[in-house]
Structure 1
Amino acid sequence: MHLHFKFISALCILLLGTVSGLNSMEPPVSREPPFLLLLNDQWVNMQMEGMSLDEKIAQLMMVAVFPRQNEASKNSVIEEIEKYKPGGILVMQGTPVKTARWINEFQEKSVVPLLVAIDGEWGLSMRIDSTMRYPYAQTIGAIQDSTYICQMGRDIALQMKQMGIHVNFAPVADVNTNSQNPVINFRSFGEDKINVSKKAWYLSGCMQHAGVVPVAKHFPGHGDTETDSHKELPVILHPKERIDVVESFPFRYLADQGISGIMSAHLDVPALDPSGTPSSLSKKIIDGYLREEIGYNGFVVTDALNMKGVRTNKGNAELEALKAGNDMVEFVPDLQNAIVSVKQALLSGEITLGEIESKCRRVLALKRWAGLHLYKPADTKNLTNRLNSPYYEVTARKLIKSSFTVLANQNVLPVQDLANLKIASVMIGDDRISPFQKMLDKYARVDHFVLGKEASAREMAHLRKTLDNYNLVIAGVVGINLYPSGKYGTTEMQRNTLADFIRDNNVVTVFFGNAYAMKHFENIHRAKGLILAYQNTPLVQELAAQLLFGAFDASGKLPVTIDKRFNLSDGLPLKKNGTLSYTIPEEVGINSVWLSRRIDSLANLGIGNKAYPGCQVLIAKDGNVVFHKCYGYHTYDNEQEVTQENIYDLASLTKVTGPLPALMKLVDEGTVDLDAPFGNYWPAFKGTEKEKLPVRDVFAHQARLPAWIPFWRMALDDEGKLSHEVFSSHPTEHFNVRVSNHLYMNENFKQAILDTIRNAELLPRRRYVYSDLSFHLYPEIISTLTGTPYEKYIKSNFYRPLGASSITYKPYLHFPLGKIIPTETDDFFRNEKLRGFVHDEGAAVLGGVSGNAGLFGTTNDLAKVFQMYLQKGYYGGKRFISEETINEFTRIQFPENKNRRGLVFDKPLIDNSKNSLKDAYPAVSASKNSFGHTGYTGTMAWADPDSGILFIFMSNRVYPTRENSTLYNLNIRTAMHQIIYDSLTP
């Protein structure tokens, strides 16, 4: 190695060694390609001894196969394998199982096992459909933590080995310094040579460590070209000094790390070879520059020899490539002629037998290292499922989340202060509601709009006017092409529309596409918030929506310079704010197949036994919703399926969702004293024995209050029918309390209810008795203490800031009835099917607004309330309740009385962990610090701060009658709850 290059190599290692923030996980460094240790292996020697000259030459050839094609194509390849015995095959388009079967058949026909290669820059999906797609290199270039880049390399290796593939023609190690590059571009990790070098090694080194041969491409560097080598020969006009320190820098670093393979590119590089010979065919560049000057002694293979940029006039590119110093040539168009041309060159002395045998030995050693001496055919059983294991998806998710790059943030990200925002979303470049928009719905109430790439000026003007009604517009820009032609495929409409929106509105923009394309959007930098997402897939869209609301951190940095507005390494940090995220069970260490199978079994058991017509199950772990599934129908008619958007009667979950957060806030503020007499807050109790009941005792259900009072029965006449003095079938001036769809109550009857509570006799002794009575009073107490109507108070202080806009009393006023799950067909009081009206009679006679029942909401919105509790009163960047107060309300208050209750919250049975599953409540494994509540209609919510588990079960078990106790008899909720804990066991 020349002294000049020793210095450059040392500088390369020094520079890379000083990079911080990119070293959380790195592959082991071998300093020399590991296959070189096997050059004199017994198996290698045996193969060499048994080969003819033609077979040795053929070992240096790799032919392309196309499993997407028909049997005739396959048979043609088999015939070629049997006749000429090539060293390897390059797999092009196909499906997983068919491709693996073809590979198996080809291997069966080959005397020496074939080296099977593929272009898998973003995994198998680059060539094989129905497989996991990892992010493009430009996306990876934005990531600041190597952990999941390394894991991506391992994943890809494991997937390829399952397919019977041994070589990955990846990663791209080109430094993309030309934004107009028509062939590399997004396939590069970026324009910074150090970043490219490190990322290429994380990926290739971990791939190599997992047993697949990585081949870095395209040496000496394809990053500054404006032509496509598939069509013509690109020219690199830089002087050698520049090539030494930029273009070839990553390859030199990879060589020093011990990468097994490097691919030679088809480039005209006058500074290295002034003859105009393509670099892949140039002895000066391969043997002289790569082998001697840089000192690389690993496996060198050409880029595809069917490309127009390399074909010679004589049609002997294969020979010229081998003479130049390549060990192998790929995508050989005519195998017979290639072998003949090499044999003729041997006769003429252009190439020596020693050179052929040396290359053949290196190819065989590579096969030996890849395990082909113990070849076994690929197992195709469940192959597609195995290649799409959720554990691979976890890697993809982590990579995408780590790549998001925040380029502008005028205090709007993450999106918070939801109570004061009216939000619209617009997809610019699409004509239908996107996964991005659907995910936004999980966080807040958002009105959605779309504007196709070729929308008319009239459509654009109408939408601009509509958006004036919103104070935040979330604009997703899609329809961006990967390559630069035609301004990356963007339209004037797209560019002008976004510019107008940003000028006229408060806009947060998410750009789903190649980073370079942003230069064509004139004032995108003036958006209040700007996130670069790099790609446009459903998963990227969903995760981008989560990032907007603070579900995880953003730490990406621009891997390229876009223009003067957006420079290399730009990127603002964004911290998560405690809002829910949505992922798959494997991301929190739970096996999704195991979990789904067991939860599905219990849910369907309930449906099969008519415990309920349908249900929903939501499971979160550490703030990550990992399971949310719907089962069955609204009713036993099986006409309307349960969906995540359906709204349930929360029943007694109202206690911990409605008055409770308000009461805790009032305790925080010192307005309510837990040890003060209840009469301080309900003056009507003055002069009664209830006056001095401690608030703590009332909240803990041991204040001697009766369990419940059937108030509606007080309004029956002598014949046992509803009194006309109290109830009416239609509203009037005084019959203005709506009880149900066809029943109205005299407003004066409310006082009778309150008087009845006041005069109710206390139970003889102080013990735990679950009582609804005080909860009927809390809405008025809260209104009085806050000076704000109860509903307005809880919505403005809790539901709207939480983004839980579906939680409400009287849902029939706010939602279509078809969206609301029906409860009982009431045949004794209201005499109608209840849908959108509270099931509980006590809450019903209070007009549907009570502290014991009356709230409705979606499962997802209820989860937000409980996740806030689980996070000690913090959610979405806002402190709702102090940690001290949460801790006080969620602890057992009177264990000495064998009262398991917290303050309003329910708690596990005393010594619950000693119970059998049948006798436990809730799950046996739920910690003593866990808390929650159940609802009479068949609902349950339970949070466990020790394990981070949140479990929500929603059903309408009372449909069509409350007499149905099958849900309890089957113990479905407790059994499901226990399954979650069991899923955490290694």
Structure 2
Amino acid sequence: MKKAGLLIIYLICLSVHLFSMGKEPSLYRNIDEKQMEHWVDSVFDSMTFKERVGQLFVLGVDVNLSARNKELVKKYIQELKIGGILFTKGTAKAQAELTNYCQSLSKVPLMITLDGEWGLSMRLTDTPKFPINMTLGAIENDSLIYAYGKEVGRQCRRMGIHVNFAPVLDVNSNENNPVIGRRSFGESPEKVAHKAIAYARGLESEGVLSVGKHFPGHGDTSDDSHKTLPIVNQTRHHLEKFELVPFKKYINSGLGGLMVGHLNVPAFDNYSQLPASLSPAITDTLLQQKMKFKGLVFTDALEMKGASEFPNLAAKALLAGNDILLKPLSPITKMDELLKAIDDGVIPHSLIEEKCLKVLRYKYILGLNHYSAIPLKNLNEDLNTRQTQLLIQELYAAAITILKDTKEILPLKMLGQRTIAAVAVGKNDETPFQKMLGNYASVEPISLTGKMPTAKQSEIISQLDKYNTIIVGIHSGKKADITLARRICQNRNTILVFFTSPYQIKGYQDVIKKSQAVILAYEDNATAQEYAAQILFGGYGAQGKLPVNINNLFTLGKGTETQATRLGYTLPEATGMNSDSLDKIAPIVKEGISAKAFPGCQILIAHKGKIIYSKSFGYFDYAGTHPVQNTDVYDLASVTKATATLPAIMKLYDDHKLSFHQKLSNYIPQLKADTHKKQITIKDALYHETGLASTLSVFPLFLDRNSYGNHLYQKKRDNDYRIQIDRQLYAHKDARLRKDMFSTSRSDTFPINIAENLYATPKVPDTLFTCIVKSKTRNNKNYLYSCLNFILLQKAVENITQQPLNLFLNKNFYAPLGATTTTYLPLTHISRERIAPTENDALLRNQIIIGYPHDELAAFSGGVSGNAGLFSSANDLAKLLQMYLNQGEYGGERYISAHTVASFTRAKSENSRRGLGFDKPNTNKPEASPTCPEAPASVYGHTGFTGTAFWVDPDNDLIFIFLSNRVYAHRWNKNLMTLNIRPRIQSIIYSALK
């Protein structure tokens, strides 16, 4: 009687099903049905009945290449004649090898499936790690979700995977749900539907079947169906209004697969007490008849406790309306039970044949009629592409959500007035979040954990009183971390950044209410942390919207949008550049290092407001004692002219305190005594058209003439002249600095620090300036590059502002820009170990120069000079240059008017290639140009004697910075120029734009 009852239920369902008209899945659209049916019929006709039954089984298989596992798989395929495989965790290569092995054993190509709700990495450890669904639920731009689905589809095809058990269509309306939670796109049925459909369409555009789950909705449960049978105690009306909405929209969008969950849903089946996966009322009547789903129906894994303990499991699942039996326990037993049910008449042959034909049609649609083995060569490279990494970054950047910003402090401004600490709660080491913050400003990283002794915690927390801005990174919802956060935030200006599930922030309710701003990054990984830091400082704009409600704190859809105001950090592909082309930079650099053109360098490329290449190569010296880091600092030499003196001039021009045509003598009275010099204008000095000499030798000024013979130096080396100071120039071995001007110890008489353990009287810089004022000039003002011009410009700036150049620049530019390493006198706040050495000066300073200007004019001026003396990392220098590119604005603050920037950067002398303070390409004689031939005429920049350069291209929105210490250990090393390293690298950059 029981068997007859099951059969009657099936026949009734079948008759209704045949007369219902549903929407064919979209995967059918481009299929030649005649060819498909020909293949399906030929395969079907060649199969035994047991083989047809086997097509309905998809079994779980370990990703294990052991002989024992292979033997088990062989048994499944050759004896059970299974239709497909669901692999467990492993590596991509191992799964690919096992897939090829399995397919080689099967008469009918196997349907390879994946339970990859957030991509392959959910199961394969060495594959790209995409955000989880709750994170994706915060993204407003569904085209990004489509791109994500499409990329997962591409990866599946590369791995020989035909079906992905995703997307999750469950609406997570129960925050205490133990099994769905962050696997859901969120709490809004409409948004869940939009995200799931976008993802599924992307997946199926690559020929991979999407399987939405867990019908009719697992979001409002308090139990885990892996462990028991959850009950969904909601009314039919509620379920149709919430849980079923994503499924309806998914079906109406023509998507191809659905998985039925192990859920007891009394509102839809109040009689059988069966899980939905075994209930004809739900799987057939509701899903396939009422909702008209025509795609492939999978059970959830039948090994789960929510279904596994029911008798006649396989038969019930097929009679309920499922097409495929997924991952049953004891598959051989389940197959035997099913065959017996068929023999006993519980299940008619026609049902098996109908479902087998349906499975074969999907195999055809998914390309299994033309199966070929997975190529193993370059497998990992094909999966882990730069485009894939870029997409992952874009997804995280679009998801991160600003939940609170009541005083509109984000992105952070006024960096020059901020003292910032970044506390990592629950972490022992510096985090990627803290490191990225350090790219934007001087940020003190601090770690605090609940395991620290209370006294140690108190000591660290008390140190926070030194800072007026405290960024707190929260990485868990542990009680100890909540307690720490409360102590940190007590009476302090804090910004909270959560790297947790939205639900975990509830424990921080009192802390959140006291904070100035709150950011939610959803996950605790390097990418989420780095992009949260960028959004905090404006490297990226915030776009995310909260996908769930957080009781008494934040409502669904909450999220403040911001704009990008500073440089961001990303991959070249984000701005349309080509990483493969940029990879050609490294061989050129290595060539230079091998040829000892320089021991190491930093190279930075910014494009369209994003730093897309920032790498350090080599070492500080040829002994390899210190690998160059991006945070290290180089002596910029003459790059100082365009990044220190020039912005000061631009600022004063902007403030109408000087003009191009005003005479320098108006600001430097000492020049009025010289008939020629008193006529020199600001413009003349900027163009290097003053008639002044190129430089001034300090040797005769500061070396004691009594310490050497008649001549200080000569061209040939001998016993007396053995201090080499140039390629063919040697100084006398006994030459010494004047004792009346220099001392090895600081005192009131010798207060000016020239080098390590070398101090000077104020007379030294005064002597230099007097000599410049009294120096001879040429009869004409033809172009001649001169350091003296910019020393005079420095003096003009200082006389106008009534403060030293370095203080004026730090206040008006470097500090507010967050350019903390762009500085004169770096040893005052930068560790000596972070500063690249320059020359081994055996004549004047008797030391390897570290942290003091290599340029003698700058050094003997006390380290601050208009021609040289500035130090910087490439990262911080880029901020100033991006400000130029932004027409005087950066970080939401204006530094110089757009008109002034345009006036200085566009101007060019009629007599030379020079701009107003900037160098420019030599378009008339490209072979003599400091830039590559591809650089347009609009480019402006400067080079430095120590082996530095920058070039800004407004036409292509491009910045190129090269910093090296090519003068280590001797200034006559010309290999950097001989090998044409900098222009060759710049040429590569332009090729990457194409």
Scaled by the length of structure 1, the TM-score of the pair is: 0.93
Q: Distance in 1 between matches of 2:141 and 2:73?
A: 43
| Most deviating of 652-661 and 761-770 | 761-770
SS of residue matched to 1:344: helix
CA distance in 1, matches of 2:245, 2:210: 18
Query: What is aligned with 1:21?
Result: none
Instruction: Tell me how far apart the structure 2 counterparts of residues 334 and 750 of structure 1 sit (CA, whole Å).
Output: 90
One of 800, 803, 806 as aligned partner of 2:818: 803
1:793 maps to which of 804, 808, 823? 808
CA–CA distance in 2 between the matches of 1:374 and 1:845?
78
- Does the 8 Å CA contact 1:546/1:552 hold for their aligned counterparts? yes
| Aligned residue type for 1:459 | K
Equivalences for 1:37-436 in 2 at 5 Å?
41-68=37-64, 70-274=66-270, 275-314=272-311, 316-409=312-405, 410-436=407-433
Aligned partners of 1:928, 1:232: CA distance in 2, in Å? 72
* CA deviation map 1:594-645 (0-9, x unaligned): 312x111011000110101111111111121111111111111112211112
2:682 matches 1:669: no
Distance in 2 (CA, whole Å) between partners of 1:29 and 1:728 is: 88
Please tell me the residue identity of whatever aligns with 2:537: F
2:982 paired residue number:
973
Residues 390-789 of structure 1: pairs in structure 2 closer than 5 A: 390-409=386-405, 410-478=407-475, 480=476, 490-526=477-513, 527-577=515-565, 579-596=566-583, 598-688=584-674, 689-718=676-705, 719=708, 720=712, 721=735, 722-789=737-804
1:207 is matched by which residue type in structure 2? Answer: L
Letter in 1 for 2:689: Q
**For 2:490, what is the secondary structure of its paired residue?**
helix
2:719 corresponds in structure 1 to none
Alpha-carbon distance in 1 for matches of 2:466, 2:701: 49
| Conservation of the 8 A alpha-carbon contact between 1:817 and 1:835 | yes
- Distance (whole Å) between structure 1 residues aligned to residue 454 and residue 757 of structure 2: 49
Following the alignment from structure 2 to structure 1, what is the Cα–Cα distance between the partners of residues 791 and 680? 16
Aligned residue type for 2:625: E
SS of residue paired to 1:808: coil
Give the SS at the match of 1:522.
helix
* Deviation larger for 296-305 or 751-760: 751-760
Residue 447 (structure 1) shift: 0.8
* Corresponding residue of 2:8: none
Pair 831,461 (structure 1): closer, same or farther in 2 beyond 3 Å: closer
C-alpha distance after superposition, 1:432-466 (max 9, x if no partner): 11010011110000111111243343333223211
Classify the secondary structure of the residue corresponding to 2:396.
Answer: helix
Distance in 1, matches of 2:796 and 2:691, equals 20
Taking the aligned partners of 2:884 and 2:387, their CA distance within structure 1 comes to 30
Alignment of 1:942-953 (within 5 A): 942-953=951-962
Offset at residue 704 of structure 1 (A): 1.7
Candidates 962, 966, 972, aligned match of 1:963: 972
**Cα distance change, pair 620–246 in 1 and its aligned pair in 2 (3 A):** same
The answer on whether the counterparts of 2:28 and 2:365 sit within 8 Å (CA) in structure 1 is: no
Name the amino acid aligned to 1:903: L
| Count of residues in Structure 1 that have an aligned counterpart in Structure 2 | 947
Q: Distance in 1 between matches of 2:136 and 2:643?
A: 43
Kept in 2: contact 1:939–1:953 (CA 8 A): yes
Shifted more, 743-752 versus 665-674: the winner is: 743-752
Amino acid at match of 1:203: Y
Shift, 1:68, TM fit: 4.3
Of all paired residues, the percent bearing the same amino acid is 38
Moved more, 521-530 or 289-298: 521-530
* Aligned-pair CA distance for 1:869: 1.2
Question: After the TM superposition, which of the residue ranges 231-240 and 715-724 deviates more from structure 2?
Answer: 715-724
Q: Distance in 2 between matches of 1:46 and 1:99?
A: 30
Provide the C-alpha distance between the structure 2 equivalents of 1:317 and 1:29, rounded to a whole number of angstroms.
Answer: 28
Q: CA contact under 8 A between 1:937 and 1:958: conserved in structure 2?
A: yes
Distance 1:704 1:38, change over 3 A: farther
Q: Distance in 1 between matches of 2:359 and 2:893?
A: 61
**Partners of 2:599 and 2:965 within 8 A in 1:** yes
Letter of the 1:467 partner, please give it.
L
Instruction: Answer whether contact 1:177 1:223 (CA < 8 A) is retained.
Output: yes
SS in structure 1 opposite 2:308? coil
The partner residue of 2:905 within 890, 893, 901 is 890
Change (3 A) 1:729 1:343: closer
Shift of 1:816: 2.5
TM, length-normalised to structure 2: 0.93
Q: Say which SS state the counterpart of residue 289 (structure 1) adopts.
A: helix
CA deviation after TM superposition for structure 1 residue 123, in Å: 0.5
* Partner residue, 1:844: 859
Contact 1:32 1:257 in 2 (8 A): no
Counterparts of 2:36 and 2:739, CA distance in 1: 103
- Looking at structure 1, the residues matched to 770 and 91 of structure 2 have their Cα atoms a distance apart, in angstroms, of 74
1:911 corresponds to: 924
Q: Secondary structure at the match of 2:647?
A: helix
The amino acid of 1:531's aligned partner reads I
Counterpart contact for 2:660–2:681, Cα < 8 Å: yes
Alpha-carbon distance between aligned partners in 2 of 1:708 and 1:770, rounded to the nearest angstrom: 9
Q: Which amino acid aligns with 1:298?
A: G
Q: In 1, Cα distance between the equivalents of 2:290 and 2:453?
A: 60
From 829, 843, 853, the counterpart of 1:814: 829
Equivalent in the alignment of 2:717: none
Cα shift at 1:889: 1.0
Q: Greater CA deviation, 76-85 or 960-969?
A: 76-85
SS in 2 for 1:504: coil
Report the CA distance between 1:70 and its aligned residue. 3.2
Report the equivalent of 1:17: none
Alignment equivalent of 2:896, drawn from 874, 881, 884:
881
Tell me if the contact between 1:39 and 1:361 (Cα under 8 Å) persists in the aligned partners.
no
Matched AA of 1:430:
K
Q: CA deviation at 1:36?
A: 10
CA–CA distance in structure 2, aligned partners of residues 507 and 788 of structure 1: 35
User: Quick check: 1:34–1:258 contact (8 Å CA) kept in 2?
Assistant: no
Range 316-325 or range 148-157, more displaced? 316-325
Shift of 1:984: 1.4
Q: Give the 3 Å change call, closer, same or farther, for CA 307–38 of structure 1 in structure 2.
A: farther
Aligned mates of 1:328, 1:33 — CA distance in 2: 23
1:294-350 per-position Cα deviation (integer Å, ceiling 9, x unaligned): 111111001001001101442x31221111111101112233222322222223332
Paired residues of 1:162 and 1:378 also in contact (CA < 8 A): yes
Whether contact under 8 Å (1:213, 1:260) holds in the other structure is: yes
What is the alpha-carbon root mean square deviation over aligned residues?
2.2
Which stretch of the first structure deviates more once superposed, 293-302 or 750-759?
750-759
